[in-house]
Amino acid sequence: MVTMTLSDNAQKVLDLVKQLSAIELNELVKSLEEEFGVSAAAPVMMAGGAAAADEGGNDGVTVELAEIGQQKITVIKVVKELLNLDLKAAKDMVEKAPVAIKEKVSMEEAEAVKAKLEEAGATVKFK
């Protein structure tokens, strides 16, 4: 792991970010993306791959959409947002339930995904 030297202000921000829940962190990232017109998708994926390699074979958790529930359109929108899919791909995925939504993710990320899907009315299981 590469250690970076941060300015005092950057270190303060990092310390504050470490205290956020997964949901709060997700909201912060989206706000930063909107504010600065950037996407965190590629760096997050690379960091996730590095983290998985560092864990030494820990496969993580698979989040499975078990049942759509009565709010199908809302669930489709959530899946679209979570996976950065187009609307048709999200719809196709949701209609295949039960289906794995995210694989090999940390329990913290899995809980955040579960919370969003359940808020939309879906039933979610971990594997």
- Residue 119 domain-assigned (yes or no): yes
Which residue range is the domain that position 98 belongs to?
59-126
Count, residues in the chain: 127
Alpha carbon 101 to its chain's center: 10
In the Cβ-directed half-sphere of 29, how many Cα atoms lie within 13 Å?
14
- Residue 16 domain-assigned (yes or no): no
- Residue 113 domain-assigned (yes or no): yes
The two structure tokens encoding residue 89: 């791909």
- Residue 91 domain-assigned (yes or no): yes
- The sign of the CA dihedral 110, 104, 41, 51 is positive
Number of domains in the chain: 1
* Whole-number Å distance between alpha carbons of 78 and 116: 7
- Residue 14 domain-assigned (yes or no): no
Residue 49 pLDDT: 45
Residue by residue, pLDDT tens for the chain (127 residues) are 556 788 888 888 888 888 877 777 778 878 877 777 776 654 444 344 444 444 444 568 888 999 998 999 999 999 899 888 888 988 998 898 898 888 888 888 888 989 999 999 999 888 8
- Residue 96 domain-assigned (yes or no): yes
- Residue 36 domain-assigned (yes or no): no
Q: What is the CATH number of the domain that holds 90?
A: 3.30.1390.10
- Residue 5 domain-assigned (yes or no): no
Residue 60 pLDDT: 81
